[in-house]
Amino acid sequence: MDRTLSTTGTVLPPLRAECLPHQRISFVNGPTPDRRPAADAAPRTRAPFTATFQALPQPRHWLLLGALLCAAVVALGLAVQLPGDTAAELGVDQGLSLHHAAALSAVAMAINLVFGPVAGLLLIALASLCILLFRRNLVGAAAFGITACSGWVASEVFKLMFARERPNPALLFDPLAPETGSNSFPSGHVSFAVALAFALYFLARGTRWAKVVAVAGAVMAVIVAWSRLYVGVHYPTDVIASFLAGSAAAVLLAGLWNRFAPRLLDRLPAALTTLSSRH
């Protein structure tokens, strides 16, 4: 312990570093920095909404492919107008109606509800809203919603063209959801499922989930097609035409989107492209 001598020769007590209880002194590294956050630190801001154009996957000859798919739907619609064709297809519905099971009936009726017009539109709106809020992607949300709805639009156009009567519920052994009317060809439920599968794939493209989503979407569309025959509200050619109509709608929409969407985005008001500044 170091001691010092006074001018008179008296030994003085050792020096001590004294400080108040709330103070700390460092003789090596200097004063301890204040680690408290600055009062005027800038708050975190959310990521901005993106309103830049995003191209959708499309075949090289998208217009020709879409036209061929539409022509196939028209040819099939003309074919089902021939006498005797409906009677042959009715046997498929009757066979499924004869072997209804409680579990399968519950699944088919749930699909009948979820992929119907009301629940389907709510599903699309909710998914588009999630894309907008969580991905902050205004254009992606619009592309998803339009693509998913395109199947319904296509089915309604072809329904008006052919006005095919639905299977007669009185001829089924166990009609689960009796429906009548001249809107059987093609199936709106299946067309929506096909277009929704395309929309989900467009959303997942470029990620590791793209192939999984593509396979899951195809399986979903097949299950919905089976449910329409199981319930007894469509003929087999109705659901076949739905796959063609839904695919045609998605292909044509992708081509039109890539061609005209950039021009529309350029005309959007500046307030929409800087939407994040208000959040």
Token pair, residue 5, equals: 């001598």
The percentage of the chain sitting over the pLDDT mark of 70, rounded to a whole number, equals: 76
Q: Once rounded to an integer, what is the mean pLDDT over residues 201-215?
A: 92
Report pLDDT for 144: 93
Q: Which tens digit of pLDDT belongs to each residue from 102-150?
A: 999 999 999 999 999 899 999 999 999 998 888 887 888 889 999 999 9
Report pLDDT for 51: 52
Q: What angle do CA 22, 28, 30 make, to 5 degrees?
A: 55
DSSP letter string, 39-70: TTPPPP-PPPPB----PPP--TTHHHHHHHHH
Report pLDDT for 186: 95
* Single pTM value for the model: 0.77
Token pair, residue 217, equals: 């979407």
Which of 28-37, 189-198, 235-244 is predicted with the least confidence, judged by mean pLDDT?
28-37
* Whole-number Å distance between alpha carbons of 225 and 36: 63
CA distances from 110 to 119, 169, 237 (A): 11, 19, 23
Residue pair 254/62 in contact by the 8 Å Cβ criterion: yes
Per-residue pLDDT band at 44 (split at 50, 70, 90) = low
Task: Collapse the DSSP code of 279 into the 3-class scheme (helix H, G, I; strand E, B; otherwise coil) and give the result.
Answer: coil
Q: Is residue 206 left, alpha or beta, with left meaning phi > 0 and alpha meaning psi from -120 to 50?
A: left
Angle, helices 138-162/62-79, rounded to nearest 10 degrees:
30
Peptide bond into 186 cis (omega under 30): yes
* Whole-number Å distance between alpha carbons of 51 and 33: 44
The residues pairing with 137 across neighbouring beta strands, listed in sequence order, are 50
Report pLDDT for 30: 47
* Whole-number Å distance between alpha carbons of 194 and 123: 15
Report pLDDT for 10: 52
Report pLDDT for 104: 95
Residue with tokens 């097609």: 225
Q: Is the pLDDT of residue 157 over 80?
A: yes
Task: Collapse the DSSP code of 152 into the 3-class scheme (helix H, G, I; strand E, B; otherwise coil) and give the result.
Answer: helix
Report pLDDT for 233: 94
Report pLDDT for 78: 94
Q: What angle do CA 48, 137, 127 make, to 5 degrees?
A: 135
Q: Which tens digit of pLDDT belongs to each residue from 60-86?
A: 999 999 999 999 999 999 999 887 778
Q: Where are the domains of the chain?
A: 110-262
Q: Is the pLDDT of residue 38 over 60?
A: no
Q: Which tens digit of pLDDT belongs to each residue from 259-276?
A: 888 877 777 665 454 444
What average pLDDT does the chain have? 82
Q: Once rounded to an integer, what is the mean pLDDT over residues 240-256?
A: 96
Report pLDDT for 52: 57
